[in-house]
Structure 1
């Protein structure tokens, strides 16, 4: 789950001109850059597409670039001679100790950086849109990194296919606009939690579903979810001991969707506190079981007392579903065999 880092630089963001990435043009290819450069308003009003957006203006490599301005863009200097690349990853978090590197443990960041370092021939450090916890999955994790190597961006996805383990996949990749930052430039993130309510667990999908064979009051849960939408102090739902000071977030959407025995909880916000999504799910489940009325969440928002909220839901039911930026939306691949509406909340 994303933690306090999501809002750490919220007040330091600068205003800039967003620009789409250019998957095909290389920084050293002046002709390709000229051909790919769009008019000033190109890209605006175009329909969103999964993965990396259509070709736009590629960042130059001749000199250091300063972050472009734009709502949600993070201020960042790119070293001279370096280009910024970005990619969308999907992964099964079951066998990982989370996203972030940890000594002696297998993490997503570790295997991705090892693959990119082998591919580019130099040490690579990546930054992700969200630092998912151990066991949490992703369909659209966004990363960025710098390199001076003139490796064709359009070859990144097929090249990584043979270097990444089977539980990680590069969905899309391309050049990033000047100053792009996977974490600080993100405007919205969507997480989806999956509850399986049938008496018998589904062995084929058990790795991404919380099996909870209970009769839940979905109407009460939906009412509580509606009360959580908006800008509030979500301190009652963050991880105990989290050092973050600013606990106010905007929850744009907290909705429940039923697909037979499968119950999905969709959470879309401008940022998430550590364990916030799973804390909300655990609280909604307790309301569904009849422990509290829907209005209990009003008291939690007012007091911020974590001990009065529900337990943190298991990690394996949670999926980082989508990340939105000013110039594009990162989405994962279709979900084969999914119920209608499951691929896009």
Structure 2
């Protein structure tokens, strides 16, 4: 049995997220699984490095599956990209150790959020940015971001309602860059909770709008209360950039 690792990019605009759903076949995982099953002539269980929400994009989503097929990785790559819709593309395919698992073995992920900060519409990028007309105080956002890095319980920055799993995560860096009206926020960490990046982004935007302050960040973390954090940023500005393994 071979273990195959694939790296995928996709425009999530018209999909219901990454994960296959019982009553919704319009997912990235569902589209990939359907094409792989047809190409390989066998049932395929595709595991992804993590879920992306409806409308979220990926530049480097990682997934893996087991197969008995002897089709080469080169041939499989060509066939997948031939039969997949144009908004899903497989960047690379390789055979990996049998123990490799795209989610369980991931040690670091980077997400990037795009904001267009101008009263002039981002006509050609409107599906990939959050358009905010009011000027944002980017230096204040950077100072607040520094308060949110490190190892913390990020329950206040998640849509998780209840559960026994730990909500402690480590964010190694939050980097905010601005070029004219284009603002990007890059988050790198060992894992992210449900909606965590979008809520962190929304909170930093509220700092930029002077609705919250740098000093509020530690209090929000300590509260473990979702209502204390900011709004959840729209899905379309978020990209999964890459997933790293040891």
Using structure 1 for the length normalisation, give the TM-score.
Answer: 0.70
Aligned-residue RMSD, C-alpha: 1.1
Cα distance in 1, alignment partners of residues 201 and 80 from structure 2: 35
Match of 2:88 among 161, 168, 174: 168
Match of 2:111 among 191, 194, 197: 191
Q: Give unpaired runs (5+ residues) of structure 2.
A: none
Which residue of structure 2 aligns with residue 268 of structure 1?
188
Q: Would you tell me which structure has more strand in proportion to its own residues?
A: 2
1:242 and 1:274 in contact (8 A); partners too: no
Match of 2:127 among 192, 199, 207: 207
Residue 220 of structure 2 is aligned to residue 322 of structure 1:
no
Which residue of structure 2 aligns with residue 115 of structure 1?
35
Which residue of structure 1 aligns with residue 3 of structure 2?
84
1:197 is displaced (CA, Å) by: 0.7
The structure whose Rg is larger is 1
Cα distance in 2, alignment partners of residues 242 and 113 from structure 1: 31
Cα distance in 1, alignment partners of residues 224 and 2 from structure 2: 43
1:105 is displaced (CA, Å) by: 4.1
1:88 is displaced (CA, Å) by: 0.2
Residue 45 of structure 2 is aligned to residue 125 of structure 1:
yes
Q: 1:187 to 1:240 in 2, by over 3 A?
A: closer
Q: Give unpaired runs (5+ residues) of structure 1.
A: 1-81, 327-345
2:130 and 2:234 in contact (8 A); partners too: yes
Could you list the structure 1 runs, at least 4 aligned residues long, displaced by more than 6 angstroms after superposition: none
2:25 and 2:31 in contact (8 A); partners too: no
1:240 is displaced (CA, Å) by: 4.5
Residue 191 of structure 2 is aligned to residue 234 of structure 1:
no
1:285 is displaced (CA, Å) by: 0.6
2:77 and 2:90 in contact (8 A); partners too: yes
Question: How many positions carry a matched residue from both structures?
Answer: 245
